[in-house]
Amino acid sequence: MAGTEKASIQSGPLPVELITEIIALVAGGLYTKFDQLNPYVLKTLAAASLVSRTWNTICRSHILHTLPVLNFHFNYERLRFLHFDAPHLCTFIRKVLLGRDDFCTTAGWFPAFAARLTNLRELVLDNPASPGNGGMVPESLPACLFTAPRLRKLVFRYWNSAVDGSDVLSVLSATIEELSFENMNGHNLSDLAVQSQSTVSNPIECPNLQRFTFWTSSKHPWTLPPWVPTSFSELTLHARMSRRALPDFGTAIRPSVVTIHLLGTSDSYFDFFYWIQHCIRSLPSPGSVKTLNIHIINNLDYDYGLKAMVGLYPDLEDYEMFSRFLHRLWACEGGSLKAIALDIRPQTEHCKDDMQVSKERRLAELAKLKKGFAPLLEAHVLNVDYIIERPEFDTSIQVMRCSIHTRV
């Protein structure tokens, strides 16, 4: 009897909660971080949706989550189907990638279709046709896209704004909690900031803004335009490391959480640490930062391979120099810093497998981290990770990892 009961339990259907988690794990690879669709994952989800009504409902929310409209002709049949044949599916759409396509914005039925996106959470204005040059927000875009009741995130990608930021102001609804400018050109940013000094006296008001994200690959100094909203508490910066491309954050922002993603190539980690120090010092009030997250990727050239060991392992002196700066920031009178996370990742194709890094080398790098950041580790304010990676297509393989986490 017991054996029969056990067999029946084992052969029963999976709990819906477990099915939901499994499908969510698969769907996590549907789009890359640059919003490129993975057709293999899409086929897997489509096949899974045929298992049952329950599976169909779960898969449908992932398949329809993101709607790319980067090329209206390419997406015409899908949009037409959603609008005319299956309007009920529009409620599953949470994110729209909208390209600069006049055929799309001027289509007679497109505004009515956009009005159906009542659960839209994120809108990405993408202008990939002219990266670095961009253009202002087209007036022909339907206003209902920007006034969707649940819209929380607005992303400008490869778009350059009007000098006074009036076009951004025109589409920035009160519901926006996260604003992002991605891949803005450094020269254009600097010119925009200079020109707007004489035309803008106050930043744009965005009452619910919590997070401001800024991406730039500029090799030139750049300045945030004075019209950028200042009410956010979280600042995230993605930048390319260059001693010439140093930022100027102006005098108004007061973020309490700062996250820096710094990508570069150097045989010395001093260059990365120097850039980050300047970046933090450029903040109007470094002492107001409560949480500091730093992510460094050293994308090593073939000149800096494992054979020469150049650029792969940081020097103890560089750790100690950066530790002194962070410790002063933490210990300064009136300072608010409570938590620091430092993630250092050299990447090289020279790493074939983890057998190339000996146990002695791991212990040596771990000891270097302990000694270099000793004051911060003893104060229990620092989590530090040093990870050697081998880059793969849209991912990376860990070859060695050294981690010390002391924050409670």
Q: Nearest 5 degrees, angle CA 182-CA 264-CA 31?
A: 45
Give the span between the Cα atoms of 247 and 281, in whole angstroms.
Answer: 10
Whole-prediction pTM = 0.85
Predicted local confidence at residue 51, as pLDDT:
92
Q: How many CA atoms lie within 13 Å of 26's alpha carbon, on the beta-carbon side?
A: 23
Predicted local confidence at residue 3, as pLDDT:
53
Predicted local confidence at residue 191, as pLDDT:
54
Which residues of the chain carry a pLDDT beneath 70? 1-12, 34, 72-73, 100-107, 128-140, 160-164, 184-201, 301-311, 350-357, 393-394, 408
How many residues does the structure list for the chain? 408
Predicted local confidence at residue 59, as pLDDT:
93
- Render pLDDT for 256-314 as a digit per residue (tens, 0 to 9): 999 999 999 888 899 999 999 999 999 999 999 999 999 999 988 544 444 445 568 89
Both tokens of 21, joined, read: 């988690």
Predicted local confidence at residue 229, as pLDDT:
86
Predicted local confidence at residue 306, as pLDDT:
44
Domain boundary assignment for the chain: 233-244+256-281+289-408
**HEC states along the chain?**
CHHHHHHHHHCCCCCHHHHHHHHHHHHCCCECCCCCECHHHHHHHHHHCCCCHHHHHHHHHHHCCEEEECCHHHHHHHHHHHHHHCHHHHHHCCEEEEECCHHHHCCCCHHHHHHCCCCCCEEEEECCCCCCCCCCCCCCCCHHHCCCCCCCEEEEECCCCCCCCHHHHHHCCCCCCEEEEECCCHHHHHHHHHHHHCCCCCCCCCCCCCEEEEEECCCCCEECCCCCCCCCCEEEEEEECCCCCCEECCCCCCCCEEEEEEEECCCCHHHHHHHHHHHHHCCCCHHHCCEEEEEEEEECCHHHCCCCCCCCCCCHHHHHHHHHHHHHHHHCCCCCCCEEEEEEEEECCCCCCHHHCCHHHHHHHHHHHHHHCHHHHHCCCEEEEEEEEEEECCEEEEEEEEEEECCC
Predicted local confidence at residue 247, as pLDDT:
84
Predicted local confidence at residue 302, as pLDDT:
45
